[in-house]
Structure formats: structure tokens, C-alpha cells
Structure 1
């Protein structure tokens, strides 16, 4: 069976997900798993796709970065597939791990992709440091502090910290911080 996996990092990348689905269907994918989540967090659909794979199956992705963020993660995924007798195919690279050359190329390209990502993150950190030095970088707008009055109002109604966090769409730790800071004033 040909199993497809499509992923975008955010929910507003609908066109990207649709394009991946189109390409995967054109490649003969019979069963498609897709999700909209960051590669750094848990990826339930990917885990389900790997779990579903059987001997002789192929997991297909459109691009390597849709599957893994590091060589270690890529190796882990390919080992899981190999243990099941399944293979991996990456469409935009015309790469298939059923062949020895495909396995070699996958490891080489994975290393290059990780190197590129680390360079990009380094440049990003340098840019942020420069912007901070020039007083131009303010960071992310603090959402919890902006909702401090709402946190206090809900706390006075007797809601738990967890309920307040859920109601306002902020983290529980943020609720604790707001409440703690108002006690010390």
C-alpha cells in the first residue's frame, strides 16, 4: 500500500496542505494522513501513518522537511519503517529507500537539510541580536499580561487556574504569574 503523509506548520497554510495532498494523490497514495502542526511538537498523524505501515508498504512525502527536522529524527523514522519492512519515498527528490542509492542519498540530503536549518537559525539569532541592540526588536507581544484584568475577574468568580487558562486561551503558568504578581502589588 502507498501511504501518504502531509503536514503544514500552521493552520493558515491551507493551500500548502492542499498542494501536498494533490501531489500525493497523483503519486498513487491510497491512504493519506495529514496534520497542521509544528514539526517540533507531537505529530499524531505521522505516528499513525508509521504505525499503519506494513511489510511492502511505502510512506510517501512531498518534501523531506515535511517529515523530519533533523538527521537523527529522519534516521529514527526510516529505521521504524525498515523494521516493518516498509520504505520511504520523497517526491521532490525522486528518492526511494528501497534502493541502496536511495538510502545513501536520503542520509546525505538529510544532513545537508539539517545544516541549512542550523545556518538559518544562526542568521535569525544574529538578526534578532542586532535588532535588539538597535532597540528595534521588542519580541512577542505578551498575551497573558494583556489579559490580566480578565484573569483577575475570572479568578474572583471561583474558576480554577486551568479553567481560566482555557477560557482565555493562555497557559496555566501565565495565569499563576498574573495572580502572583497582583498579590505582590
Structure 2
């Protein structure tokens, strides 16, 4: 009975993540266009990848099996790989375009709120993933951490651009997050279901 309660808690966290990212996607894309920001556009794309990861975990939590578990971990690994590859490509194009986005207060507020929400959701997923001994929920918690880190990276980059003129900070932060994502993708591809 306790395991079912933990599973339900994990599902609720995934539904919350799914809802947040579906709500975030369109405003981030619109703000990225209005503010001429590649990093905000990348953040919007990240929201779609997080939606994919959440759908995979919801599917796996509803139909737990060793095969589903292993497949879900691989799909999450692919989402890490896609996100990280996209971030590297975005950084490359950003260097060539040399954009200097100007953040709005709504962008700053949304990025702060998103980071807080993502880190809280990730902590909950990690907690219940361990209680359930569910590597899929644990792996997806790391995708959620990347979402939070990306929000912090985009925010930091925009603030450094606005106040110090250091446009390279946005791209440097993005590359660090991409490298973390590649590392997690590699671990996902190597992992075995319990």
C-alpha cells in the first residue's frame, strides 16, 4: 500500500511537471522572439523535451515492467542527447549572430519562478524515485534539474548582458549545461533496469 502511495506521488509530480512545461512553452517562444534571445528560444525547446520525458515517466509508472523501465531510461537518455545537442548548436549560432537580448521584468520573474519550481519538482522526483527504487523517475529528476539549471543559466546570461555587457556568459553557461546533459545521456544508455 505504501509503494502505491509513493507511485501516486511520483505521478502527481510528473503531471505537475507536464502542466508547467506545457504552459511555459508558448510564452518562452514568444518572449524569445520579442527579445531577440536564442537562449530563451532554447529554453522553450527544453520545455518540449521535458514534456516528452514526463510523458515517458507517466507511461512507465502506470505500466511498471523491467522492459518498460529499460526502454523509458533509454528514451530519457535520448531526450538528454537531443537537449544537449540543441544547446550546442544554439550556442554556435549565437556566437555568429552576436545577439544582445534585453530581458523584460516578466522574463526575469518567469525564469526565477521556473527555476524554483523545477528544483522542487526534481527533489520530489528524486525522493520518491529512491523510495520506489525506480531508476526511470530518478533519471527524469535529472532532466528536471537540467530544466532548472537552464532557467538559471538563461537568467544569469540575460542579467550579465544587461548589467555588465558580458554577452559570452549566456553561451558559456549553456555549454556547461549541455556537457552535463551529454554526461547524463551517456549514463542513461549504460544503465540497467533493476
* Superposition TM-score, scaled by structure 2 size: 0.29
Higher relative contact order (CA 8 A, sep 6+): 2
**Which of 1 and 2 has greater Rg?**
1
Q: Which has the higher helix share?
A: 2
For normalisation by structure 1, the TM-score amounts to 0.30
